[in-house]
Amino acid sequence: MKKSAVHTGPPATGAPYSPGIIAGDLVFVSGQVPLDPKTKQLAEGGFEEHVVQCIKNVESILLAAGTDLAHVVKVTIFLKDLNNFGRLNAAYGSFWGDVRPARSCVE
């Protein structure tokens, strides 16, 4: 199977990984942190704004791969504190319509 890396610009870190990989008809996206790609700094704001930034970072990679959030089928989320689960859902829910991706959430 042919695979190719997806990049949205210069790497945010020096870590040896690709932000995304296209393999056949699938796109795999690496985990994201709330880093603003323009400033290379953590996004302004609190928890909800950080969730939004992470999803926007995923979206940017998907767009560079020729797809978008509407085609996401699985999301894995790591939370430092599971008490933020409700806040996560409030920020996360606005990105997908009626057919939301399957999801795992781990503390």
> Which position among 34, 105, 106, 107 bears the catalytic label?
105
One-letter amino acid at 55 equals I
What tokens were used for 14?
A: 């020096």
Q: Is 105 among the catalytic positions?
A: yes
Cα–Cα distance for residue pair 36/82, rounded to 1 Å: 24
Provide the 10 A C-beta neighbour count for residue 72.
Answer: 21
Calculate the CA 101 to chain-centre distance: 12
- Catalytically active residues, by annotation: 105
